[in-house]
Amino acid sequence: MSLRFNAINNLSTSIDTKVDASPKITALFGSNVFSLKTAREFLSDEAYKSLQSSIKAGQKIDRAVANQIATGMRAWAELKGVTHFTHWFQPLTGTTAEKHDSFFTLKGDGTPIEQFEGDALVQQEPDASSFPSGGLRATFEARGYTAWDPSSPPFIMEIGQGKTLCIPTIFVSYTGESLDYKAPLLKALDTLNKAAVEVCNYFDKNITRVTPTLGWEQEYFVVDEALFNARPDLVMTGRTVYGHSSAKNQQLEDQYFGSIPERVYAYMRDFETESYKLGIPLRTRHNEVAPGQYECAPIFEEVSVAVDHNSLLMDVMERVARRHGLRVLLHEKPFAGINGSGKHNNWSMATDTGVNLLAPGKTPKTNLMFLTFFVNTIKAVHDYADILRASIASAPNDHRLGANEAPPAIISVFIGQYLSKVLNDVKERVSEKMDETDESMLKIDIHKSIPELLMDNTDRNRTSPFAFTGNKFEFRAVGSSANCANPMTVLNTIMADTLKKFKKEVDELISKGEKKEIAIMHVIRQYIVDSEKVLFEGDGYSEAWAKEAEKRGLENVKTTPLALDAMVTEKAKHLFESNNIYSHSELEARHEIELEKYIKKVQIESRIMGELATSHILPPAIRYQNLLANNIQGLKEAGLPEATFANQKQILEKISLHINKTSDLVEKMIEARKVCNNMDNTRTKAIAYQSQVKDAFFDDIRYNVDKLELLVDDREWYLPKYREMLFLR
């Protein structure tokens, strides 16, 4: 029996989906995290204070204190049954990496002891040679090291019976270039903090720290593990390269907010429990639009912690799924013809005085502060739309963007009717010669209209890639498998850069004798005028918008290799260098890595398409072709008239056509791949893979294969079908 039928037969009996009756979340929450509260119990006053000021103000921890902290961490971890530790980091491959070391060691005289010293906490040298570096390590230094990032708390990862203390770290080369997602992110957050505090101080001198916040929404698909295993394309690429859409799809829209199937529900509860222990504050879970698709979202957190938590969650989700005989698909587009998955990044900034800078204020003064940050965000997105677009570019996300289910590749900002009106007012009422007597202008009573504002947002535009949703912006174009760090690094950098310019311009007006509030109003007005063209309230999915955007001069870069160009323009180099995020060589390296990732992904997909065609598609198709041919031959020999086998003949003709087309196209695709593989320049090669391999063949081959799926005897078909993967649980 084929894997497919084996899987279907075992489906209902395979797995016991019982999960422990869930204990109270508050009792579990953070139990595997070395939080400051836990640290208080295990550290001396001195060590605790040092850790605290390192977390709160980024102060350096000295060696002796690091030793004390390490000892305290080990004491805590050992109480929880931990034997090993690892430096946990986020390399540019997109997954997380760890190398486990035991606390166990031998003293000089051979006595076995358990120890964890400050040095081991602070710095390690993983074998970095197998992580992508875009040529950086080769150019500068053979190895890199991981360095403790105290801003993210250590945690205990439970895998089966094993428990490991994980120390969040950044990964850098010996010459200081960052080799991971986290190091530049921390720099961007710090830069934003400084720039935002300076602007905040126009309004409130008490503000000394601004923390960007992130609440991601993780979409995913769940499929049965046995069905998954019978689909080599899912196993190798995370998406189905073939598969005819099933008779029933998402057209009834009966899945969204419908009841969650029991088996999936058990899985969700299980991974939620694991997440709670790790301090990931998951809050919502629900079905998504497509069959088999779901979403979960946490309460928002500081960006760096939220980024770690999302990476951790993806890892936990994958592992826990196997316990339930399920597989989670984090790919942006696992199934053609139904919605793909995204990871909305809800983003705002909070002050240490407890103000959300993107929440409309309650007084005219705080309104002006809100308006300042609101308009600066729009300006930042306007000025750096191309870099923002590049930050979400990936091979899998190309399948989703602009496919009438996710925002287009055109970056625009949605702000809702009400705020559009406010911006228009500002534009029209703030005049060149406005002076102190004209202060009525400053009293834009946004707070009185909060109900209006909220209404605007419940009825909000889902087609926008970057939308204001009441008290935060939602960057919706991020892909489901992405590490949030990259888009967050870019967003926070462009915001910091814009705020710095804003501050400079306002100060200039003030130095010319303008009153502070009026100076601010003038610059805000100018920014509104400058960035107006990025605002769009209509249907982002429509053809009309693509045309309109072109007229406005907004870019619409549909493919990753070209979108990535924006990373290495003079503008990008200046932006990242002047804000101390990336040096030129770091940018070039990252650009190279992203291109390489793209090439590899398309290459693997192309290979699996070829392989499946020859080993999984053509054999049953040819057998069925034979059956029909024999049947026709038999009827003919029996002397029956043409009409008795006319239908068979028709089917035979179709099957033969698609068989020939498939194998012909596959051969040609292999030739095209060979041509690409001989190209030296990475960018040229990536573009060639996209146009000469992917665009030139993928859809065509798939079309023929999917036709065969409909024609060939169902019992003969090897690959689980869409209806099975999406509806059987």
Least Cβ distance, residue 495 to Mg ion (angstroms): 20
Contact call for residue 356 and ligand ADP (CB under 6 A): yes
Report which secondary-structure segment, H or E, holds 604.
helix 584-612
Contact call for residue 476 and ligand ADP (CB under 6 A): no
Helices (DSSP H) in 324-449: which residue ranges?
A: 364-383, 385-391, 395-398, 416-429
Contact call for residue 343 and Mg ion (CB under 5 A): no
Which two structure tokens, joined as six digits, stand for 34? 């070395």
Binds ligand ADP by CB under 6 A, chosen from 187, 263, 389, 472: 472
The residue among 646, 647, 648 whose CA lies nearest residue 630 is 648
Q: Which does 630 bind (CB under 5 to 8 A by kind): ligand ADP, Mg ion, none?
A: none
CB closer to ligand ADP out of 139 and 471: 471
Contact call for residue 382 and Mg ion (CB under 5 A): no
CB closer to ligand ADP out of 116 and 347: 347
Among 36-44, 227-235, 292-300, 402-410, which window interacts with ligand ADP (CB under 6 A)? 292-300
Binds ligand ADP by CB under 6 A, chosen from 11, 97, 185, 214: 214
Least Cβ distance, residue 471 to ligand ADP (angstroms): 6
d(CA 493, CA 576): 8
Q: Indicate the residue whose CB is closest to Mg ion.
A: 344
Least Cβ distance, residue 476 to ligand ADP (angstroms): 9
Amino acid (one-letter) located at 325: G
Q: Which does 298 bind (CB under 5 to 8 A by kind): Mg ion, ligand ADP, none?
A: ligand ADP
Residue 285 exposed, middle or buried by CB count within 10 Å (0-12, 13-18, 19+): middle
Among 39-47, 209-217, 530-538, 573-581, which window interacts with ligand ADP (CB under 6 A)? 209-217
CB closer to Mg ion out of 429 and 460: 460
The residue among 89, 175, 153 whose CA lies nearest residue 127 is 89
Contact call for residue 352 and ligand ADP (CB under 6 A): no
CB closer to ligand ADP out of 215 and 479: 215
Among 215-223, 477-485, 562-570, 641-649, which window interacts with Mg ion (CB under 5 A)? 215-223
Least Cβ distance, residue 350 to ligand ADP (angstroms): 7
Contact call for residue 455 and ligand ADP (CB under 6 A): no
Within 8 A by CB and 6+ apart from 523, the residues are 502, 505, 506, 509
Least Cβ distance, residue 298 to ligand ADP (angstroms): 6
CB closer to ligand ADP out of 180 and 217: 217
Binds Mg ion by CB under 5 A, chosen from 309, 344, 658, 702: 344
Q: Which does 299 bind (CB under 5 to 8 A by kind): ligand ADP, Mg ion, none?
A: ligand ADP
Least Cβ distance, residue 390 to Mg ion (angstroms): 22
Which two structure tokens, joined as six digits, stand for 472? 């935060």
d(CA 484, CA 218): 11
**Tokens 């992917």 — which residue?**
694
Contact call for residue 502 and ligand ADP (CB under 6 A): no
Least Cβ distance, residue 413 to ligand ADP (angstroms): 16
CB closer to Mg ion out of 34 and 466: 466
d(CA 186, CA 55): 12
Least Cβ distance, residue 464 to Mg ion (angstroms): 11
CB closer to ligand ADP out of 291 and 298: 298
SS (H, E, C) 233-296: HHHHHCCCCCCCCCCCCCCCCCCCCCCCCHHHHHHHHHHHHHHHHCCCCEEEEEECCCCCEEEE
CB closer to ligand ADP out of 284 and 677: 284
Which two structure tokens, joined as six digits, stand for 56? 């709160």
Q: Indicate the residue whose CB is closest to ligand ADP.
A: 215
CB closer to Mg ion out of 411 and 581: 411
Contact call for residue 202 and ligand ADP (CB under 6 A): no
Contact call for residue 122 and ligand ADP (CB under 6 A): no
Amino acid (one-letter) located at 524: I
Contact call for residue 298 and ligand ADP (CB under 6 A): yes
Size of the site for ligand ADP (CB under 6 A): 16
Contact call for residue 217 and ligand ADP (CB under 6 A): yes
In the 8-state DSSP scheme, what is residue 435?
A: -
The residue among 21, 19, 159, 24 whose CA lies nearest residue 81 is 159
Q: Which does 297 bind (CB under 5 to 8 A by kind): ligand ADP, Mg ion, none?
A: ligand ADP
106 within 8 A of 158, measured Cβ to Cβ: no
- How many CB atoms within 10 Å of residue 1? 9
Q: Which does 213 bind (CB under 5 to 8 A by kind): Mg ion, ligand ADP, none?
A: ligand ADP
d(CA 59, CA 39): 17
Among 143-151, 343-351, 623-631, 710-718, which window interacts with ligand ADP (CB under 6 A)? 343-351
CB closer to Mg ion out of 263 and 344: 344
CB closer to ligand ADP out of 166 and 381: 381
Which two structure tokens, joined as six digits, stand for 540? 């982002």
Within 8 A by CB and 6+ apart from 372, the residues are 199, 202, 203, 502, 520, 524
CB closer to ligand ADP out of 491 and 524: 491
DSSP letter for each residue of 512-581: TT--HHHHHHHHHHHHHHHHGGGB--S-TTSHHHHHHHHHHT--B--SHHHHGGGGGSHHHHHHHHHTTS
Contact call for residue 187 and Mg ion (CB under 5 A): no
SS (H, E, C) 348-361: EEEECCCCECCCCC
Least Cβ distance, residue 70 to ligand ADP (angstroms): 33
Among 1-9, 184-192, 209-217, 651-659, which window interacts with Mg ion (CB under 5 A)? 209-217
**Tokens 């836990």 — which residue?**
38
Within 8 A by CB and 6+ apart from 133, the residues are 92, 144, 173, 179, 589, 593
CB closer to ligand ADP out of 356 and 449: 356
Within 8 A by CB and 6+ apart from 466, the residues are 381, 388, 411, 412, 413, 414, 473, 474, 475, 476, 477
CB closer to ligand ADP out of 446 and 602: 446
Within 8 A by CB and 6+ apart from 146, the residues are 87, 89, 123, 124, 125, 126, 169, 170, 171, 172
The upper half-sphere exposure of residue 371, i.e. CA atoms within 13 Å in the direction of its Cβ, equals: 35
Binds ligand ADP by CB under 6 A, chosen from 131, 202, 347, 475: 347
Contact call for residue 297 and ligand ADP (CB under 6 A): yes
d(CA 712, CA 616): 12
Binds ligand ADP by CB under 6 A, chosen from 215, 238, 279, 361: 215
Judged by the rule CB under 6 A, the positions of this chain that interact with ligand ADP are 213-215, 217, 284, 297-300, 344, 346-348, 356, 471-472
Judged by the rule CB under 5 A, the positions of this chain that interact with Mg ion are 217, 344
